[in-house]
């Protein structure tokens, strides 16, 4: 049967981060997975990793059975420690493999040559789960060329310290964003992901079989968050959005997390100010509260100045033409255009006042120019937003112009009969924002289990 042990009554007393030389000679119970093993024959060094970091365990051969930790046997010439010897059968120690989950009871020892000036000498060992395979990457490697191999084994890929660091930062980014919006008086909402109609037009929807009806996965909470400002005025939602775009780029996902914000009685300029304050609040929070993580992924991160530079669409067209691109007023910006912009303009900046023809139907406009913006970081669009239309006739007119079926939006249009306030808002792509903070090249590493046209598993 299994040579593995049950956890039983053992419980961790310390995380690796809680160990320090002041605990010298204290008994501790540690648990985690094995990051690495250095086997020197009669002495085996094990780096034990837990959620906070790692600690060196030292197993030495030559000690008898029994639970005593006193040094009552022959000394070993290679000894670097002078007591705390264990009753653990050495064959058990030798059976350990990297990535196995273990628990040890032992003593903390000051050890000037150990990675943190301390190590732990185990007196008891439980093998909670013995690894049968060794993954093709080390937990210490920052990069590994084969993305598919990593994603196929994503749970284990995430044990790499580099990946764990990204997601610790992600947690703090979410925390900072919510803290900011809460302080600003926004309430968190959740809107349905199974919907009857496209909110941004008909393209790029995943169909769902909903009981006996056809439905779709929401591309965005757009129409719902607009409706919710009628009662709550200031709302935000942080939730998945679904886009059936057959893109194979480093910046598109079929399922992503969107930070959606909507506010009544303001226009696009107000929410641009709000957005740039949210961005700087979050980055400042990360700089102040994730300095260890930033050392690994982005040591040069600094809080950008506000206001962010604002370029009108017209100015962007001028820049592109001066750089040899032929682009007509009214054209959307292609990835080539954005690549050029990213070389000319650095950091966070807005592009404002877009042609209304290339913005969604709900965008407020004067017939030609929309009160709309994109927030960019170099060549990467991380957010877009606008003032919204709050008059029913205007909205119906835009639906017609964009060739959408009025009847499909009846449920939304009727809200406008009951006093729809002027409002504005934006959606921020969480993964893309994280790319700018953690300096990631591929959006797939800003999410736990990426979804794209080629990948549905794991």
Catalytic choice (100, 384, 386, 387): 384
If one asks whether residue 185 binds its own copies (CB under 8 A), the answer comes out as yes
Chain positions 232 to 251 lying near its own copies, rule: CB under 8 A, are 232-234, 239-240, 242, 244, 246
Least distance (Å) between residue 208 CB and its own copies: 5
Between β-strands 348-352 and 380-388, what pairing exists: parallel, antiparallel or unpaired? Answer: unpaired
* 54 touching its own copies, by CB under 8 A: no
Residues numbered 286-345 forming contacts with its own copies, rule: CB under 8 A: none
Catalytic residue among 381, 394, 397, 451: 381
Taking the least distance from each CB to its own copies, the nearer of 46 and 340 is 46
Judged by CB under 8 A, the stretch of 155-163, 312-320, 333-341, 344-352 that binds its own copies is 155-163
Quick one: which of 244, 242, 243, 235 has its CA closest to 190? Answer: 235
Rounded CA separation 135/454 (Å) = 23
Place of tokens 């600690």: 55
Q: Select the residue interacting with its own copies from 27, 154, 277, 310 (CB under 8 A).
A: 154
CA 44/CA 37 separation, integer angstroms: 7
Q: Give catalytic status of residue 412 as yes or no.
A: no
Given the complex with its own copies, which of 153 and 369 has the nearer CB atom?
153
Query: Applying CB under 8 A, does 193 fall inside the site for its own copies?
Result: yes
In terms of Cα–Cα distance, which of 56, 35, 290, 298 is closest to 160? 35
Q: How far is the CB of 206 from its own copies (least distance, A)?
A: 5
Cβ–Cβ under 8 Å, residues 267 and 363 = no
**Catalytic: 107?**
no
Residue position matching structure tokens 């070993």: 76
From the list 59-67, 253-261, 338-346, 435-443, the region that binds its own copies by CB under 8 A is 253-261
Which of 328, 417 has the CB closer to its own copies?
A: 417
Q: Which of residues 380-439 bind its own copies (CB under 8 A)?
A: 390-391, 393, 411-412, 414-422
Query: Catalytic site residue 359?
Result: no
Candidates 99, 150, 243, 337; catalytic one: 243
Place of tokens 């709550």: 232
CA–CA separation, 140 vs 159, rounded Å? Answer: 9
Q: Is 440 in the site for its own copies (CB under 8 A)?
A: no
Counting contacts by CB under 8 A, is residue 3 touching its own copies? no
Nearer to its own copies, 80 or 174 (CB): 174
DSSP state of 422: P
Question: Which CB atom, from 254 or from 438, has the smaller least distance to its own copies?
Answer: 254
99 is catalytic: no
The token pair at 327 is: 């682009």
- Rounded to the nearest whole angstrom, what is the least distance from the CB of residue 117 to its own copies in the complex? 24
Q: Which of residues 109-148 bind its own copies (CB under 8 A)?
A: 128-133, 135
Q: Regarding beta strands 27-39 and 213-217, do their DSSP bridges make them parallel or antiparallel, or are they unpaired?
A: unpaired
Q: Work out how close the CB of 276 gets to its own copies at its nearest, in angstroms, rounded to a whole number.
A: 18
Cα separation, 254 vs 195, in Å, equals 17
Point out the catalytic residue in the list 98, 124, 184, 245. 245
In degrees and rounded to multiples of 5, residue 8 shows phi and psi of: 50, -130
Residues in the interface with its own copies (CB under 8 A) total 103
Note the helical H segments in 268-334: 268-289, 291-297, 313-322
Residues 210, 190: Cα–Cα separation, whole Å: 19
Which contiguous run of DSSP H or E holds residue 353? none
Q: Which of 95, 52, 60, 92 is nearest to 76 (CA)?
A: 60
> Annotated catalytic sites, by residue?
243, 245, 251-252, 381, 384, 432
């Amino acid at each position: 049967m299994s040579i593995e042990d049950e956890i039983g009554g053992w419980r961790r007393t310390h995380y690796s981060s809680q160990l320090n030389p002041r605990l010298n000679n204290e008994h501790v119970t540690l648990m985690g997975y094995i990051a690495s093993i250095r086997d020197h024959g009669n002495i085996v060094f094990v780096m034990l990793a837990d959620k906070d970091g790692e600690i060196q365990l030292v197993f030495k051969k030559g000690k008898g059975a029994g639970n005593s930790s006193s040094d009552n046997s022959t000394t070993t010439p290679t000894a670097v420690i002078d007591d705390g010897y264990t009753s653990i059968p050495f064959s058990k120690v030798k059976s350990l493999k990297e990535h196995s989950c273990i628990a040890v009871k032992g003593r903390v020892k000051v050890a000037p040559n150990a990675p943190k000036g301390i190590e732990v000498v185990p007196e008891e060992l439980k093998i909670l789960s013995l690894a049968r395979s060794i993954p093709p990457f080390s937990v210490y490697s920052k990069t590994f060329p084969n993305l598919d191999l990593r994603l196929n084994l994503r749970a284990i890929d995430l044990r790499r310290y580099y990946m764990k660091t990204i997601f610790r930062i992600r947690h703090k980014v979410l925390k900072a964003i919510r803290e900011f919006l809460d302080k600003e008086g926004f309430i968190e909402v959740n809107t349905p992901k199974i919907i009857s109609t496209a909110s941004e037009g008909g393209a790029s929807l995943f169909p769902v079989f909903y009981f006996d009806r056809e439905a779709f996965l929401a591309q965005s909470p757009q129409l719902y968050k607009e409706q919710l400002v009628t009662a709550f005025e200031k709302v935000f939602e942080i939730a998945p959005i679904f886009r059936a775009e057959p893109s194979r780029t480093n910046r598109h996902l079929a399922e992503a997390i969107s930070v959606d914000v909507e506010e009544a009685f303001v226009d696009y300029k107000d929410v641009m100010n709000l957005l740039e304050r949210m961005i700087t609040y979050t980055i400042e929070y990360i700089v102040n509260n994730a300095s260890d993580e930033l050392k690994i992924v982005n040591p040069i991160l600094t809080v950008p100045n506000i206001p962010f530079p604002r370029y009108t669409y017209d100015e962007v067209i001028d820049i592109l033409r001066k750089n040899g691109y032929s682009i007509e007023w009214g054209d959307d910006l292609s990835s080539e255009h954005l690549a050029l912009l990213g070389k000319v303009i650095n950091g966070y900046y807005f592009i404002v006042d877009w042609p209304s023809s290339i913005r969604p139907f709900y965008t407020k406009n004067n017939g030609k120019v929309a009160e709309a913006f994109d927030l960019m970081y170099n060549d990467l669009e991380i957010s877009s937003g606008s003032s919204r239309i709050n008059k029913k006739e205007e909205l119906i007119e835009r639906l017609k112009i964009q060739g959408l079926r009025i009847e499909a939006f009846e449920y939304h249009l009727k809200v406008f009969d009951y006093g729809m306030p002027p409002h504005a808002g934006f959606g921020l792509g969480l993964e893309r924002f994280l790319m700018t903070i953690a300096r990631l090249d591929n959006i797939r590493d800003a999410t736990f289990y990426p979804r794209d046209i080629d990948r549905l598993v794991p």
